[in-house]
Chains A and B, each alone.
Chain A
Amino acid sequence: MNYEQLAKKVVQRAVKKGAKQAEAYLEVGRQSSVRVREGQIEDLTEATSKGLGIRVIVKDRLGFAYTSDFTPAGLERVVDLAVQLAEAAAPNKLNGLPGARDLGKRGDTGILFDPKVANLPGDWKINAALEAERAGRAQDTRVVTFDSVSAGDFVAEVYLASSEGASGGYSGTYVYLVAVPVASQDGQLQTGYWLDYKRFLDDLESPESIGREATKRAVRMLGAKPVKTQQVPVVFDPLVAASFVGNLSQAANGNAVYQQSSVLAPHLGKRLAGKHVTLVDDGLLPRGLATAPFDGEGVPTRRTPILDEGVLSGFLYDAFTARKAKARTTGNASRGYSALPGIGTTNLYLEKGTKTPEELIREVPQGLYVTALLGHGADPVSGDMSCGANGLWIENGELTHPVQEVTVAGHLLQMLKDVDAVGSDLQFRGGSVGAPTVRFRQLTVSGA
C-alpha cells in the first residue's frame, strides 16, 4: 500500500467533509523480540502494526480521532468522527496546523535506516541474547539467575500529509540488547542491568560486553547498606545523569513555561550553571535514535540549545504552544498516531566535558556515586527533587562499599549551580536522552 498516498486521501476526504484544515499522521511498523533464560528461549514475539490519527479544524474547532482499522469503512469512519468531534468542540482561535512558514526547509538527517537491522535473521537475536547471558554468567559465580536477557528489533515508518502542504515519510530501524542478571550473597539479592539501543547494528555494543557489564553492576551492589544522613558531593553515572537531564527538559517544555508551571520559566537568558554545562535538543543528530526529518506535525526538526554554556537559552515548542506563547515552533511536536502532538524532546543530551569519570571520582574525598534512582525525580513545577538511590560510597577518591536504601534530595536550580564537573563519557544508553558522568558539589543524602 502506498501510505503517503493514503495519508493524502484521508486529508482530502476530511476537507470534503467540511474541515478547513486537516492532517493525517500514519505509523506502520514491524517488530520482533526474543527473551532467553538459562540457555533456552523464553519467548519470541513477532508483530506488525499500524495506525492513523487525523486532526481537523472546523471553524476554529479542533477534532481528533485515530484508528488501527485500515479498511475503507474504518478509514471513512475515523475521518467522519474527527469532523463530528470538531463540530462539537469549543472554538479557539489558536487552533490551526503549522503553515508554510513553519513547515519550511528540512535539514539533513543522514541515514536512519540500516538494511542489516531490517534483514536481521531471527536467530541473530536468539544467539546474541544467549551469548550475553553466557558471558554474564561466566563473569561472576555470584550471578544466580537472570531476570531476563532480551534482544529485539523494529522497523518503523512514519507518513504525514496536511491540507497546509505538509507531506512526507521516512523509515527507520532500531535494534536493542538488554541483560538483567540477579546476584546473590549472604541472602541478599541485587540486580543490575545493562543495555544498548541503536539504529545501526554496527553501533550496538557486543553481546559479551553487555552481559559482562550487567553482571559487574549487579555484583558490585552485593552487601549494600545505608549510610548516615549527611550532605556530600554526589556523582551521577551516565544512566542516572540522563534521567536528571530528562527531568530538566520537562521544565523546558514551552507549554509548562507558558503556564508558569515550570521552575525555569522566569529565568530565560539568565546564567543557571557554569560554562561547562550545555544542554541540547538535536533532532538532526547523526545516527540518533530520535533523529527525523520532521516532527509530529511536519515541522523540520533542528538543534535547540536549552542551556548554552550555562545560560538558559531556549524552551521547546510545538506549533500550537508557540502560537499561544508568541514564539516559534522548535520542531518538538512529539506524538504517536493515537495522540495529538504534544511537546517532547528528540535527541536530548548534556555535552561532554574533558575529564574521565575516574578523575571526577578521584577528586571526591567523601561522597556518593549513584548508579540507580527510584522514583519520578524532580518536580518540574517546584523544582524539588527527592529520589531513592543505589550506588557506591566514595572514600578518598576511591569507590568503596555499595550503598542502598538512601535518598538524594535537592532543588533543580541549586543542582544546576552545583554541577561542578561533567565527564568525557557522553553516552546514549537506553534511549534518545544522553549524558556523561555528572558531579554535584553537594546534595543531601538521607539514610540511617
Chain B
Amino acid sequence: MPRALASSRRARPAQLAPPAARQAAASPLLPPGLLERLLAEAMGRGADFAEVYVERTSTTAVVLEEQRIRSAQVGLVQGVGVRVIAGAKVGYAYSDDWDEAALLRAARTAAMIAQGGGSERAYPVKRVPVPSHYRVGQPLEDVAVARKTALLTRADKASRAFDSRIQQVNASYVDQTRRIAVANTTGRFSEDTQDQSRMSVHVVALGKNGERRTGMYGSGGRVSFSYWDGVTPESVAEEAARQAIATLGAVDCVAGPQTVVLAPGWSGILLHEAVGHGLEADFIRKGTSLFAGKLGEKVASELVTVIDDGTVSSARGSINIDDEGVPGERKVLIENGVLKGYLYDQLNAKLMNQRSTGSGRRESFKSLPLPRMTNTFLAPGDHAPEDILKEVKRGLYCATFGGGQVDISNGNFVFEVSEAYQIEDGKLGRPVKNAILIGVGPEALKNISRVGCDPMPDPGMGICVKDGQMLPVGVGLPTVRIDNVTVGGTKVG
C-alpha cells in the first residue's frame, strides 16, 4: 500500500526553458546511435512503443552517532532499462552491464512481449530541450565529503547545546546526483540531472522517571550545496531538539472523534494520503480507487483546492522531466471541492485516452514507471491561523507529523502526529503523546471547515513509497481545521 514518510485543467502548458548549460555540456550517458540501435532491437517483434531509460546515480551518505561520524560512503549505481509496449502488455528488461551486447540482449528480452514480426525500420531520436525548475551549480558529487560531514558535526553540537536533556543525537546527510536519459520510438530523447540533498536529525530526550521522547526534523531539496548556508544544520538540529523537549511530560491521547487543527507545512501528508494516491491513474483505470469515475463530482469541502506541481523551484519533488521524458507540470486535482483531474503516466494516459501529466516516475532503472505525485499542496484560504485556533473549544492541535499510509480502495488513511497539544478554549494546553489520525479520504476532506491564509511547504524530507519504489516528494498545507476526526489513543475519555 502506498505510504509516505513522510489539474485540471491540465491546460497549463509546461514552461519550456533553454536547456541548462550543464545538460548541454555533459556528454550523453549513451551515444544516440546506440539508443537508436536498442530501440530498433526492442521493436523487433512489432510492438507499439519502445523506450530506453538510462540512469547513472552517484550517492554520498554520511552518518553521525554518539558525537562521531560513524561512516561516510560514496556509491555509484548505473543501468539501462528497455520497455516495450504491445497493446496493454509491457515487457521490461534491464541490465547494469553497459556492454552493447548485454544491452541488445535486454532489448530482445523486453521485445518478447510482442508476438508479431519485425521490420527493418529505423527509430531516429532527437534531443529535445527540457524546462529548468532547479538550477544546481556545482554538482553535489563534486563537493568534498569533509564539507558534508562538517554539517553533521555542527548539527550534533547544536542539538546538545539546545537542552541538557538531549541524550542521543543521530544525524544523517544524503545527496544524490542522478543523471537520466530517456529515448523512445516517438523520436523524443531528453536528459536531465536531478540533484537532491537532504539532512535529517533524530534526537532522544530523557525526562523524569526515564521517560524518553524523540524529535525528528530534516530539510533539503533539489538544491546546490550552498543551500546549507541558508538552512543551517543548527536550525535543523534545534527544531529536532525542540520537538523532543516539548513532548516530555505528554499525557495519553484521548481516543475517539475530535476537532483537530493542523499546523501548516508537513501536515500536507494528509493530502498526500487522503487524496493524492487515490488520484493516481493506475488505480483509477483499474477501478481500484474510490475516486474512480468521480470527475466533476464534489469530493471535498469547497474550501479545498488541491494542486500537484512538479515545477516548484528547487523543491524536493520537482522534476524537469519525469522518468518517461515528459516535462513536469502544475495540475489542479481538486478545485473548490470538485474533482478535476488525475495524475497520468504515459501508459495509463494512452489506455484512458488522455495525455500524460508528467507524472510517470520510477525509483531507478530497476523499476517500471508508475503515476506518482511530485509536490502536492492545498491552496491557501482566507482564515487567519490565530482565529482558527481561537474558535475551537476542545480539540487537538497537531504540530508535527511522522508518516502516513493509505488503503486506496476503501480510502482509509492514517497519519501519525509526533507533536500534539490539547486545545482548551482556543488555547494550547498540555502536550499529548501517541496520537494518530484515521479517516476516509473524501469524508475527511468534506469535514475541512477552515483553511488558513498561511501556505507553507514542508521543509524538504518527504519520501513516498508505492509498490516498494521510494521517491522524493514535497507536500504543503496552510493551517487547517477538520471536524470530527477519529483520533487514536490509549485513553478512553
Chain A residues close to B by CB (< 8 Å): 37, 40-51, 53, 62-70, 74, 78, 81, 85, 88-90, 92, 144-147, 182, 188-191, 221, 224, 226, 229-231, 255, 259-261, 263, 266, 338-340, 372, 374-376, 379, 381-382, 384-388, 390, 404-411, 444-448
Contact = CB atoms under 8 A, between A and B. Distances in A.
Contacts of A89: 69, 71-72, 149
A448 B486 contact: yes
Nearest to B203: A261
Contacts of A259: 65-66, 168, 170, 204
Given A68-B78, A338-B77, A447 B489 contact: no
Nearest to A45: B92
B461 to A, nearest CB: 15
10 contacts: A45-B94, A64-B71, A68-B96, A69-B78, A146-B286, A255-B65, A388-B413, A407-B487, A409-B255, A447-B486
Contacts of A37: 286
Contacts of A40: 88-89
Given A85-B74, A407-B436, A47 B414 contact: no
B90 A42 contact: yes
B74 A65 contact: yes
B145 A88 contact: yes
Contact of B434 (A41, A46, A384): A384
Given A261-B212, A384-B433, A65 B88 contact: no
Contacts of A74: 76
Given A44-B112, A64-B73, A191 B409 contact: yes
Contacts of A188: 410
Contact of A41 (B113, B407, B435): B113
B286 A49 contact: no
Given A44-B90, A145-B287, 13 more contacts: A40-B89, A44-B112, A46-B109, A53-B75, A65-B74, A67-B75, A67-B77, A69-B78, A88-B145, A146-B286, A147-B288, A255-B65, A382-B433
Nearest to B75: A66
Contacts of A339: 73
B288 A405 contact: no
Contact of B257 (A51, A67, A81, A448): A448
Contact of A386 (B90, B91, B288, B416): B416
Contacts of B95: 47-48
A425 to B, nearest CB: 24
A305 B77 CA distance: 37
Contact of B488 (A92, A376, A381, A386): A386
A45 B212 CA distance: 46
B368 to A, nearest CB: 6
Given A145-B286, A189-B290, A374-B405, A338 B75 contact: yes
Contacts of B289: 189
Interface string B153-175: 00000000000000110100000
Contacts of B409: 147, 182, 189-191
A25 to B, nearest CB: 12
B240 to A, nearest CB: 13
B491 interface: yes
A43 B410 CA distance: 26
Given A147-B286, A407-B488, A409-B488, A43 B90 contact: yes
Nearest to B433: A384
Contacts of B168: 259-261
A50 B413 contact: no
Given A191-B409, A406-B486, A444-B255, A43 B69 contact: no
Contact of A375 (B255, B414, B492): B414
A255 B287 CA distance: 45
Interface of B: 1, 59, 65-66, 68-79, 88-98, 106, 109-110, 112-113, 144-146, 149, 167-168, 170, 204, 206, 210-214, 253, 255-257, 283, 286-290, 366, 368, 402-410, 412-414, 416, 433-436, 438-440, 486-492
B408 A44 contact: no
Binding site secondary structure of chain B: strand
Contacts of A379: 214, 434
Contacts of B253: 386, 409
B442 to A, nearest CB: 12
A263 B70 CA distance: 23
A3 B70 CA distance: 29
A13 B167 CA distance: 41
Given A387-B488, A411-B490, A446-B486, A405 B412 contact: yes
Given A44-B90, A64-B73, A405-B438, A221 B410 contact: yes
Interface centre among A62, A376, A381, A388 (most CB of B within 10 A): A388
A339 to B, nearest CB: 8
A190 B286 contact: no
B255 A407 contact: yes
Nearest to A377: B416
A230 B256 CA distance: 9
A390 B412 contact: yes
Interface centre among B59, B145, B167, B283 (most CB of A within 10 A): B145
A446 B287 contact: no
A268 to B, nearest CB: 15
A446 B255 contact: yes
**3 closest pairs, A vs B, by CB?**
A407-B488, A446-B255, A43-B90
B93 A47 contact: yes
Contacts of B408: 147, 191
B288 A381 contact: no
Given A44-B92, A145-B288, A446-B486, A78 B73 contact: no
A410 B490 contact: yes
A62 B90 CA distance: 44
A186 to B, nearest CB: 13
A445 to B, nearest CB: 8
Contacts of A404: 410, 412
Contacts of A260: 167-168, 204, 206, 212
Given A226-B486, A387-B436, A382 B214 contact: yes
Nearest to B273: A374
Interface centre among B71, B96, B283, B408 (most CB of A within 10 A): B71
A185 to B, nearest CB: 12
B405 A388 contact: yes
A370 B76 CA distance: 43
